[in-house]
């Protein structure tokens, strides 16, 4: 137990010392004199002389280039307001959409309640956000369903080079988009989508576990066996 406990990552709390002189403070940390202290509850990591904290919990704060799954909440004559699960309003201007939108004609392309996959175009000092859909991968998401997980668990769900999410997609035969904001869009056969939802919740709950990819594979293979979803 002792030995295996060590294999699990150590949890630090705000104000705890996570590094001394010679190290640089990374995200989730701050400097106080010679010491580097944690600013958030999370797991300490060190990479190339830089200490950072991977938070265990927290709200989504948009960053430039993030792929986000959003829901249209309001229309303007030349823009849409999109809810991206952030503390800030996120407008998508008509010129940043993939369509040629006449002034006042935004409702023809996206209506309130529509889901989109968009990218964060810019975030300024006072956190004003602009979205863009001028990207090959950006699109309106037709059909399917949305779910939400903690934004801090998104990297774990995606996995190394997208290994985890690719596996879930393949084993459940679904189409899945994961936004950095923790919103997930799933489309596919009913059985497969239900299995994917359970798998994603499983990953979210056990984000700290070691060998999670294999556990998820087992789970999905058991789920899809006999239902004819997986080949």
Partner 1 sequence: MEDIEHIEKEMKLIDENGVRLDGRKFDQLRPIRIEAGVLKRADGSAYIEWGGNKVLAAVYGPREAHPRHIQDPARALVQCRYNMAPFSVSDRKRPGPDRRSVEISKVISEAFSSVVFKEQFPRTSVDIFIEVLQADAGTRCAGLTAASVALADAGVPMRDLVAACASGKIGGVVCLDLNKEEDNFGDADCPMAVVHGTGEIVLLQMDGHLTFDEFQKAMELSLGAADRLFELQRDALRRRYSVTLEEILRESPPPVAPPPEPEDRDFAPVEEPGPQDEAPPRDEDFGPEGI
Q: Which of 18, 92, 131, 165 binds partner 1 (CB under 8 A)?
A: 165
Please report how close the Cβ of residue 105 comes to partner 1 at its closest, in angstroms: 28
Please report how close the Cβ of residue 23 comes to partner 1 at its closest, in angstroms: 15
* For partner 1, the closer CB: 40 or 106: 40
Q: Can residue 123 be called a binding residue for partner 1 (CB under 8 A)?
A: no
**Cα distances (angstroms) measured from residue 153 to each of 57, 81, 118, 183, 207:** 8, 26, 20, 11, 7
HSE-up of residue 102 (Cα within 13 Å, Cβ side): 3
Give the total of residues touching partner 1 (CB under 8 A). 68
Q: What is the DSSP letter of 40?
A: S
Q: Are 53 and 40 in contact (CB under 8 A)?
A: yes
Q: Which of 24, 93, 140, 206 binds partner 1 (CB under 8 A)?
A: 206
* For partner 1, the closer CB: 96 or 223: 223
Q: Are 40 and 71 in contact (CB under 8 A)?
A: no
CA gap 78, 112 in Å, rounded: 14
Place of tokens 């849409």: 80
CA gap 224, 231 in Å, rounded: 9
Nearest Cα residue to 68 out of 36, 27, 115, 100: 115
Place of tokens 């859909």: 133
HSE-up of residue 101 (Cα within 13 Å, Cβ side): 22
Please report how close the Cβ of residue 174 comes to partner 1 at its closest, in angstroms: 14
Q: Can residue 162 be called a binding residue for partner 1 (CB under 8 A)?
A: yes
Q: Can residue 214 be called a binding residue for partner 1 (CB under 8 A)?
A: yes
Q: Interaction with partner 1 in 94-113: which residues (CB under 8 A)?
A: none
**Interface pattern 45-84 for partner 1 (x via CB under 8 A):** x-x------xxxxxx-x-----x-----------------
Please report how close the Cβ of residue 104 comes to partner 1 at its closest, in angstroms: 25
Q: Can residue 117 be called a binding residue for partner 1 (CB under 8 A)?
A: yes
Q: Are 56 and 41 in contact (CB under 8 A)?
A: yes
Please report how close the Cβ of residue 78 comes to partner 1 at its closest, in angstroms: 21
Tokens of 13: 């709390």
Q: Footprint of partner 1 on this chain (CB under 8 A)?
A: 1, 4-5, 7-9, 11, 13-15, 28, 30, 32, 37, 39-43, 45, 47, 54-59, 61, 67, 87-89, 117, 125-127, 137, 152, 154-156, 158-163, 165-166, 177-178, 180, 198, 202, 205-206, 208-212, 214-216, 218-219, 222-223
């Amino acid at each position: 137990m002792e030995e295996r406990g060590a294999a699990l990552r150590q949890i630090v709390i705000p104000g705890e010392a996570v590094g001394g002189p010679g190290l640089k403070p990374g995200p989730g940390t701050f400097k106080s004199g010679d010491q580097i202290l944690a600013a958030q509850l999370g797991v300490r990591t060190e990479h190339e002389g830089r200490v950072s904290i991977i938070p265990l919990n927290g709200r989504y704060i948009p960053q430039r280039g993030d792929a986000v799954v959003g829901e249209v909440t309001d229309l303007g004559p030349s823009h849409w307001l999109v809810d991206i699960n952030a503390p800030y309003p996120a407008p998508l201007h008509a010129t940043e959409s993939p369509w040629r939108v006449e002034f006042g004609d935004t409702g023809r392309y996206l209506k309130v309640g529509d889901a989109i996959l968009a990218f964060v175009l810019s975030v300024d000092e006072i956190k004003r956000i602009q979205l863009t859909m001028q990207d090959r991968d950006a699109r309106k998401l037709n059909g399917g369903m949305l779910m939400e997980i903690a934004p801090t668990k998104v990297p774990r769900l995606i996995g190394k080079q997208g290994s985890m999410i690719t596996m879930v997609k393949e084993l459940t035969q679904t189409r899945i988009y994961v936004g950095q904001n923790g919103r997930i869009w799933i489309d596919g056969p009913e059985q497969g989508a239900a299995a994917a939802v359970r798998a994603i919740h499983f990953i979210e709950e056990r984000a700290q576990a070691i060998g999670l990819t294999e556990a998820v594979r087992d789970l999905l293979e058991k789920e899809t066996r006999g239902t004819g979803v997986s080949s």
